[in-house]
Structure 1
């Protein structure tokens, strides 16, 4: 039996709590006796979430002193983390190191950081607060890109729904892939988002450029990843010199044209591996890699796996399979 203790506080984000809890509850339903899920506030009193819901905890954190440490201590995020209660931070500083596994969702990472539990570790949080986390806690290696990061016994995740992805990964670690797949199907989500998936897709990034010519070029890249996407070709499409185009593109999107092209091609290849029966060679041509070897190198660099292994692991279960 693994105890999952979820810390609650005023102005917590309700989905940061209920998303992971539903995953662990699903695992307990599928394999009874595997998880004991508890929620707790400092004094045992109900709290009001940022959306106005009232959550009634099972117990008080203050009453846990001297008791057995939880297997998984989960700290959600929400508006309440922007003004952390010193007593809650002190409790986490004292009791967090005792938990076998320490997990944060969204800005829950801020509470872990305030308690010194992320010092010397790699971590992430919601993209809108990564800069603040890095600025306030230079001792933490903040990675703003992935949806979750696992560094030893400590796992941190990005905004809201990424907490579900991380919880599924933890259940898979504990109980195996089949149980995690059963839960994912029941919750009508795909067990397909590895932790190193970016918080922003290329399609979202395409909305950040201010000038129409740059947005049009971004959209062209998304629609034609197999074409010539060299700086010279893209600059001509934007009616700019290559040097001016490269500078303007990075200034307005926060990334270079080459990195944007790499992201688009990788996303397209991943979707085709997940959603089509096309072979690796056909997909590599359709995505602009040219050869399966080039696509393999891109996958190894970005995801740490080969295309064939990625397809085996992250392709959704067929629609006719029932939970």
Structure 2
């Protein structure tokens, strides 16, 4: 049995814990359907044990971290929280005494979201590359200069160390763990049961140009951006987009740059290439991908993809396609 120890504390982010826990439970369910025994046992621990209230008010029951013997925890993960709740956890003497030993003997250890601050304060991240929530990248770098923070990655695997970015990326990292421990088919089945659009790879950026543009509350192009995303194979030149927006080409170009931070042409190319990267990671042919994202013929996709990501799309697919 593979014991997954999730370390929580008062005010922790519930989804940081429940997301990965659901993934590991889903893997056990998938194994059961194949007539195989469960692999994972999820254990929630805290400094003192007992009932621990999350930031959302949901209370979970935990065991004292001191009850977990070194070597009995195969995966050890510290969940995240907002700064006010995180600081007491960083300073907690019981956690500070217990975590290094558990991490040293575990098959892998790491953090979800801002939980990395707890590990960094214990010098467990020195010399490593890590992921954390995008809003914490700057303070992390300032406080822990010996740690390399990847501001874009959803999660980072550096030897035994696994770290994820904000909140839902813990699910992506847990799925990658399942794929590593079992196989990609089981991980895919879990993702399907959780109604996930896709099993996102760690190299995918935390930031989507579509999302960044849409989240601006005063953006006049939120609907148009959604339409672009759903119609990447359509003509998406400035005249077509301006007509759809009901603006002159000059006015559209000026207002779009102000709202999205990119020219329309650049924005469309980024959206198309991000979609192409996701499709290639699923093993689709270059011809199919090029047609779906509006970068046909395949030679056009290849040129744009290599210019953006520094690798040929065919090689990228061979390296990252799900088995």
Q: Above 0.5 in TM-score? A: yes
| 2:63 counterpart of 1:54 | no
Q: Using the TM superposition, give the Cα deviation of residue 73 of structure 1 relative to its aligned residue in structure 2, in angstroms.
A: 0.3
Q: Using the TM superposition, give the Cα deviation of residue 312 of structure 1 relative to its aligned residue in structure 2, in angstroms.
A: 5.5
Q: In structure 1, what is the Cα distance between the partners aligned to 2:204 and 2:114? A: 18
Q: Using the TM superposition, give the Cα deviation of residue 94 of structure 1 relative to its aligned residue in structure 2, in angstroms.
A: 4.0
CA contact (8 A) 2:281 2:317 kept: no
- Cα-to-partner distance string for 1:8-35 (whole Å, 9 max, x where unaligned): 1111111111111111122233242422
| 2:18 counterpart of 1:23 | no
Q: Using the TM superposition, give the Cα deviation of residue 7 of structure 1 relative to its aligned residue in structure 2, in angstroms.
A: 0.7
CA contact (8 A) 1:221 1:229 kept: no
Change (3 A) 1:155 1:229: farther
Count, aligned residues: 302
What SS does the corresponding residue of 1:194 show, helix, strand or coil?
coil
> Which runs of structure 2 are paired with 1:148-297 in the superposition (5 Å)?
148-207=155-214, 237-238=249-250, 260=267, 262-270=269-277, 280-281=286-287, 283-284=289-290, 287=293, 289-296=295-302
Q: In structure 2, what is the Cα distance between the partners aligned to 1:52 and 1:210? A: 28
- Cα-to-partner distance string for 1:181-222 (whole Å, 9 max, x where unaligned): 222222222453111122222211224779979999988986
Which has the higher mean CA deviation after the structures are superposed, 180-189 or 132-141?
180-189
Select which of 49, 69, 77 maps to 1:44.
49
Q: In structure 2, what is the Cα distance between the partners aligned to 1:221 and 1:37? A: 41
Change (3 A) 1:179 1:41: same
Change (3 A) 1:68 1:303: farther
Q: In structure 2, what is the Cα distance between the partners aligned to 1:154 and 1:28? A: 23
Which has the higher mean CA deviation after the structures are superposed, 290-299 or 151-160?
290-299
What TM-score comes out, normalization by structure 1 length? 0.75
Q: In structure 1, what is the Cα distance between the partners aligned to 2:116 and 2:303? A: 33
Q: Which residue of 2 aligns with 1:318?
A: none
Structure 1: tracts of 5 or more residues without a match: 315-323
Q: In structure 2, what is the Cα distance between the partners aligned to 1:210 and 1:85? A: 35
Q: In structure 1, what is the Cα distance between the partners aligned to 2:166 and 2:235? A: 34
What SS does the corresponding residue of 1:132 show, helix, strand or coil?
helix
Structure 2: tracts of 5 or more residues without a match: 243-247
Q: Which residue of 2 aligns with 1:77?
A: 80
CA contact (8 A) 2:112 2:165 kept: yes
- Cα-to-partner distance string for 1:252-282 (whole Å, 9 max, x where unaligned): 867798874542121343566699x9x6336
- Cα-to-partner distance string for 1:99-136 (whole Å, 9 max, x where unaligned): 22013111112212222122111111111212211221
> Which runs of structure 2 are paired with 1:120-159 in the superposition (5 Å)?
120-159=127-166
Q: Using the TM superposition, give the Cα deviation of residue 170 of structure 1 relative to its aligned residue in structure 2, in angstroms.
A: 0.3
Q: Which residue of 2 aligns with 1:321?
A: none
Q: In structure 2, what is the Cα distance between the partners aligned to 1:83 and 1:226? A: 52
What SS does the corresponding residue of 1:40 show, helix, strand or coil?
strand
Change (3 A) 1:290 1:8: same
What SS does the corresponding residue of 1:84 show, helix, strand or coil?
helix
| 2:313 counterpart of 1:313 | no
What TM-score comes out, normalization by structure 2 length? 0.75
Q: Which residue of 1 aligns with 2:100?
A: 93
Q: Which residue of 2 aligns with 1:317?
A: none
Q: Using the TM superposition, give the Cα deviation of residue 61 of structure 1 relative to its aligned residue in structure 2, in angstroms.
A: 1.2
- Cα-to-partner distance string for 1:23-65 (whole Å, 9 max, x where unaligned): 11222332424222211111222211000011111x2112335
| 2:305 counterpart of 1:302 | no
Alpha-carbon RMSD: 3.9
Q: In structure 2, what is the Cα distance between the partners aligned to 1:144 and 1:64? A: 33
